[in-house]
Amino acid sequence: MRLQKFLAQSGIASRRKSEELIKNGIIKVNNKIISEMGYKIDPEKDKIYVNDKEIKINNNKIYIMLNKPVGYITTLSDEFNRKKVIDLINIKERIFPIGRLDYDTSGLLLLTNDGDLTHKLTHPSFEIIKTYIAKVKGILTKDEIKNFENGLMIEDYITSPAKLDVIRTNTDNSIIKISIREGKNRQVRKMCAAIGHPVIDLKRIAIDNITLGNLPEGEYRYLSDREINHLKNL
């Protein structure tokens, strides 16, 4: 088994974050610091340490949905001592967010200690649909909506086809529903800005068909077996 996969399955971090831990030289295998990607271990024989604490695979998988408020970060540590989403969840197991939501974005965030599921839901090749409700400045034209849906040049990449529906408008702004299959940094905000309609407020309401529903802001719940099985079978 590759070391980063073991770390992900043990609930230490997602596979991508586990690779960062390896690069930073804080992972030991049998008291030897490992910094190379793809290093293979035998979980039955080798002893793996993170910051000198022995780690074992965690078979108690946790799957949680949080309605993230604005003003919380999704990283597990922060040099500026900002509020973290993990502080909102009162459980003893170590879990981590699946992907991220910006500091100034609210809504549906999944957290788990299942590294394999995290990899599936965050890797671009799986193209998992994320749906948002946004309040944006101004009134969108048909051409702007078409450009948004067909793909936009954002910095050094062109966005994949997306979906945009106008829910309602007034004289100054619009409420829109957006579905994308990507998850690049602040992508929805950048896409809206690219068509001349900066985001005022942004909330994620669904990942595929797993919906936020009426979960109060700042509260969390465990996913149902049906929801877990659906995500695993995507």
d(CA 114, CA 9): 6
d(CA 6, CA 1): 7
Query: Is the distance from CB of 180 to CB of 192 less than 8 angstroms?
Result: no
Q: Give catalytic status of residue 102 as yes or no.
A: yes
> What ranges make up the beta strands (E) of the chain?
27-29, 32-33, 48-50, 53-55, 63-68, 96-97, 106-112, 130-137, 153-154, 157-158, 163-169, 173-180, 199-207, 210-211, 220-222
Count of C-beta atoms within a 10 Å radius of residue 223: 18
Half-sphere exposure of 143 (CA within 13 A, CB side): 1
> Which residues, 6 or more positions from 6, have their beta carbon under 8 angstroms from its beta carbon?
41, 43, 48, 57
> Which residues, 6 or more positions from 80, have their beta carbon under 8 angstroms from its beta carbon?
none
Enumerate the β-bridge partners of residue 48: 29, 55
> Could you say which of 46, 87, 102, 143 is catalytic?
102
Phi, psi of 68 (to 5 degrees): -70, 130
* Token pair 């001349």: residue: 196
Catalytic residues: 102
